[in-house]
Amino acid sequence: MNTSTKGIGKVIFSSSLGTLIEWYDFYIFGMLAKTISVQFFPDGNETAALLSTLAIFAAGFLVRPFGALFFGRLGDLIGRKYTFLLTLVLMGSSTFLIGLIPSYKSIGMAAPLLVLLLRLIQGLALGGEYGGAATYVAEHAPDGRRGYFTAWIQTTATLGLFVALGIIMVVKGSMSDAAFTAEWGGWRYPFWLSILLVGVSIYIRLRMSESPVFAKLKSEKKTSVNPLKESFGHRANFKMVLLALFGAVMGQGVIWYTGQFYAQSFLENTVKIEFMQNREILLWAIGLATPFFLVFGALSDKIGRKWIMLAGMLLGVIFYRPIFGMLLKDADAKEWKQRNEGMRYVKKEGLINPLIKLDTIKRNNETLQITHVKETWQMSEGMRFTLSYADTAALIIQDPLAINDSAKPKIIFSAGPSNILWVKADQKPVYSDKILSPALKWKFIGLIWIMIIFVTMVYGPVAAFLVELFPTKIRYTSMSLPYHIGNGVFGGLVPFIATLLSTTFTSDPLVGLWYPIGVAALCFVIGALYLNNKIDKNIND
């Protein structure tokens, strides 16, 4: 039984730093999805470009299980240390290279294809990283404190997100929007930064020693000859892989991604909070919630892992719709406008307000005049938003008696000769770039913080849970696959499936939540019925 904590600090630092950087590399892509969609896809349909970018983002998640199989096997054959050194090199170099790809305008279809290829390499690398890092720390941790020490690794995913957000905010804040979104603009800097961060981490990891548990196994010549076959070909172990996936990690994955990634995407694309404030809200919520990974990891050492994880899932199932509904309702700028408390126009970046642009389009016998209007308003409480709408008028030169019934209700006036008619189309106002008042901003931070607490409950104990489920000689392989299916597939697809649902069922802006709610509910039931709350003290077998 291992009760010593000597040297554990260095182990945690060296493992966590590299893992954090890998998460950072993986997440800057998602954080910049909207900017990237403009660069690497043709002009035209913004939603299609965003969806395609999210699909490439999702592709990186979908290959994680394959990375888990490849690198998990390697880690069980040759050792943890060199395997997750290799994953770090792959991740860092592919991230750096994404930042070097020219835009679609310069190299056409090669742009999105290259991005996809590098994104797939990122996914493979990440698939190998986590299992190695969690196993490495767990195999050094003393018995009775495994939950607490592996929880440090669990903080790295959220901290990676935090660093990604922070760096993007710093870069964006230091330049104009135009400079940030230019083809070779500031949005590339976070990608280029990765190579420096990775260099430091590689240096630190090279100085690490192999896991003592694995080293012992290797010296006794008891390592697995075929970890894949032993993990998934033997029924006794395979059934535990299935239980880990469907009873724990599947739900953990959707809770993780809904509370952080989908929350950020929802605030940006549905609620339409202004870019910088959106990121600020996430940063505060993440920063204030991160210590709870350690709290729940330590708590799981005392009371078991199972019920803490399942409680996090259940809370998500119950509270997601109310919380997201509140985010939407409280940021209803139309309602702000109707309240009309000391509202005034605001000048932004030297532009006149309102900004009016007139387009004239000729089509067959018809001339359309479309007036695009963009107004920026500010209320006395400090709330601000941009209201955009298109006012369309059509000059129709034809026999007025031939106007069909469906057009008649829209006719606002007829002027001049009887063969000329003006028809006003419906306005569709869009409220965007919303800036919340300080009080409302903190309410939003609180709501996102609550969802991240659910994340800490499901994620804090899960590394120790997975390590304890499998024997040493096939641990890296066995725990990596369910982890990356649960997180990479179920969790990683949350933004994509939610966006797909909301573009189909447009009447309900919260419809995308049914996917994570359904998955978490199913996982809760399976986990409650079949998981064991006992902690395996001996992971050396």
Partner 1 sequence: MVIAPVVIYFLVMGAIHNISSTGTKDINKPIPWVIIITIFTPIALGLMIFGWYSLKGEYDKLPESSDELE
Asked whether position 462 contacts partner 1 by CB under 8 A, the answer is no
Asked whether position 228 contacts partner 1 by CB under 8 A, the answer is no
**# residues contacting partner 1 (CB under 8 A):** 34
**Rounded distance between C-alpha atoms, residue 388 and residue 266, angstroms:** 20
Residue owning tokens 């994570």? 516
- Binding residues for partner 1 restricted to 231-250, rule: CB under 8 A: 234, 236-237, 239-240, 242-243, 245-246
Long-range CB pairs of 329-332 (<8 Å, 24+ gap) are 330/440, 330/443, 330/444, 331/271, 331/272, 331/273, 331/434, 331/436, 331/440, 331/444
For residues 315 and 535, which CB has a smaller minimum distance to partner 1 in the complex? 535
CB atoms within 10 A of CB 285: 25
By CB under 8 A, which span of 122-130, 322-330, 438-446, 521-529 interacts with partner 1?
A: 521-529
For residues 398 and 532, which CB has a smaller minimum distance to partner 1 in the complex? 532
Answer for which of 8, 38, 55, 114 binds partner 1 (CB under 8 A) is 55
For residues 36 and 289, which CB has a smaller minimum distance to partner 1 in the complex? 36
- By rule CB under 8 A, what string of x and - marks binding of each residue 413-452 to partner 1? ----------------------------------------
CA-atom Rg of the chain in angstroms: 26
Nearest to 289 by CA among 149, 442, 449: 449
For residues 162 and 246, which CB has a smaller minimum distance to partner 1 in the complex? 246
- By rule CB under 8 A, what string of x and - marks binding of each residue 12-51 to partner 1? -----------------------------------xx--x
- The DSSP secondary-structure symbol of 485 reads I
- Binding residues for partner 1 restricted to 103-122, rule: CB under 8 A: none
For residues 242 and 425, which CB has a smaller minimum distance to partner 1 in the complex? 242
Answer for which of 496, 510, 520, 527 binds partner 1 (CB under 8 A) is 496
Q: What is the distance, to the nearest Å, from the Cα of residue 18 to the centroid of all Cα atoms in its chain?
A: 19
**Rounded distance between C-alpha atoms, residue 437 and residue 327, angstroms:** 14
Nearest to 169 by CA among 319, 325, 318, 274: 274
**Rounded distance between C-alpha atoms, residue 247 and residue 524, angstroms:** 7
- Binding residues for partner 1 restricted to 60-89, rule: CB under 8 A: 62
Minimum Å distance from CB 221 to partner 1? 17
What one-character-per-residue DSSP string does 406-472 give? TTGGGEEE--SSTTEEEEEPPP--EEEEEE--HHHHHHHHHHHHHHHHHHHHHHTTHHHHHHHHS-G
DSSP bridge pairs for 356? 373
Answer for which of 175, 393, 500, 528 binds partner 1 (CB under 8 A) is 500
Nearest to 495 by CA among 124, 66, 62, 42: 62
Asked whether position 503 contacts partner 1 by CB under 8 A, the answer is yes
**Rounded distance between C-alpha atoms, residue 359 and residue 338, angstroms:** 29
Asked whether position 226 contacts partner 1 by CB under 8 A, the answer is no
Answer for which of 142, 144, 446, 471 binds partner 1 (CB under 8 A) is 471
Nearest to 134 by CA among 461, 453, 458: 461
Minimum Å distance from CB 504 to partner 1? 5
Structure tokens at 51: 């969806």
Minimum Å distance from CB 541 to partner 1? 4
> What is the binding site for partner 1 (CB under 8 A)?
47-48, 51, 55, 62, 234, 236-237, 239-240, 242-243, 245-246, 470-472, 485, 489, 493, 496-497, 500, 503-504, 522, 526, 529-530, 532, 534, 536, 538, 541
